[in-house]
Amino acid sequence: MKLEGDRLKGIIDAIEPIKDPEIGISIVKLRMVDSVEEDNGKIKINIKLTVPGCPLSSTIEKDIKKTLEEKGYNDVEVNFGFMSKKELEDIKDVVRREQIQMPQSIERYEKKSIRKIIAVYSAKGGVGKSTVVKLLAETANSMNYKTGILDCDISGPSITSLFNLKGMTYADKDGKIIPAICSILEIMAVDMLTDVAAIIWRGPLVSSAIKQMYNDTNWGNLDILFLDLPPGTSDAPITVFQSIPVDGTVVVTTPQELSNLIGKKTIVVAKSLNIPVLGVIENMSYFVCKHCGEKNEIGRKDAKLDLPILAKLPFFNDLDEEKEESINQLKIAVGKIVNE
């Protein structure tokens, strides 16, 4: 039952002094307290975070429980959701009035005219994320979906070389970046903005480059935008998951046990940031003997990730020549991703 009147006021007054640890303003002032319920003596506080999966949510939970315990409420549950774009805009006014600098991470961008934004991710490097992005994008394109790729790997971009793209990109008359067009696929990557030999940037610069490439590119209408993520759990993937309105993640693994363990870690990261994990693409899963055509499985098969397998791709000796054999699987995967 939702609390109202004096009982609600008592609880709100008690938690009013608790500040959002990142912004430094009261969670009540920031309108983060969505509602308060009472259920068989248990007090449930429903909090709306400014960013999904805010790493500081546990601090807020601890503060609320401690404060209410001191007031005699011993059975308290804190639940988390997150704010809509409109609610975020409203709290920006509160922050401005308090003349406090809004932290970078609070920026969450609009969906624009893009139907689905799909992050292709693995915490492990070299499992074939970029290759899978290329295959999925080409397949989506062949199914007449208007498709784009944003290479979110700032320090090791590989999409331009996978598509043999050369040269820099331009801005249109409104100052928006025009993505490169490759067989009607729209592509944007940091190496189309700068020709330095290697980008050696720290986290905040990497984060702002990713945000800028997403937000300042004129994507037009797209059915699907694939995000090629860098490996790891550093600033770059977290920025993508928190700032870009990602609809879902496709996890890439290889059959080796280590990769599966890291696959699990990958899923924990995506889930803790409230991003639905759509399924797994098992890459380099088997190879086909050139001489006899026999299909040979590679690696252990007993590690399970409890997620739908969207496709199992072979080890390609020549990707461009052999990818046709996987096209049906890839089409089914794209169909699921677009319609999920």
Q: Which of 304, 306, 246 is nearest to 274 (CA)?
A: 246
3-state helix, strand, coil in the chain (%, to 5): 35, 25, 40
Query: From the CB of 323, what's the least distance to Mg ion, in Å?
Result: 17
**Number of neighbours of residue 195 by Cβ within 10 angstroms:** 8
Q: Is 129 in the site for Mg ion (CB under 5 A)?
A: yes
Query: From the CB of 131, what's the least distance to ligand ATP, in Å?
Result: 3
Of residues 231 and 314, the one with the C-beta less far from Mg ion: 231
User: Helices marked H in 108-256 — which ranges?
Assistant: 129-142, 159-162, 203-215, 235-243
Q: Which of 122, 130, 239, 285 lies at the binding interface for Mg ion (CB under 5 A)? A: 130
Pairing of strands 76-82, 147-151: unpaired
Site string for ligand ATP, 209-248 (x = CB under 6 A): ---------------------xx-----------------
Pairing of strands 286-288, 295-297: antiparallel
- Selection from ligand ATP, Mg ion, none that 249 binds (CB < 5 to 8 A by kind) is none
How far does Cα 12 stand from its chain's mean position? 33
Question: Nearest residue to Mg ion, using CB?
Answer: 130
Q: Is 263 in the site for ligand ATP (CB under 6 A)?
A: no
Residue with tokens 């993640």: 249
Stretch 155-194 residues interacting with ligand ATP (CB under 6 A): 156, 158
Stretch 101-160 residues interacting with ligand ATP (CB under 6 A): 125-131, 153, 156, 158
What whole-number distance in Å separates Cα of residue 51 and Cα of residue 57? 10
Stretch 295-334 residues interacting with ligand ATP (CB under 6 A): 313, 315-316
- Selection from ligand ATP, Mg ion, none that 128 binds (CB < 5 to 8 A by kind) is ligand ATP
Q: Is 50 in the site for Mg ion (CB under 5 A)?
A: no
Look at residue 296 and give its three-state secondary structure: strand
Where do contacts with Mg ion occur on this chain (CB under 5 A)? 129-130, 158
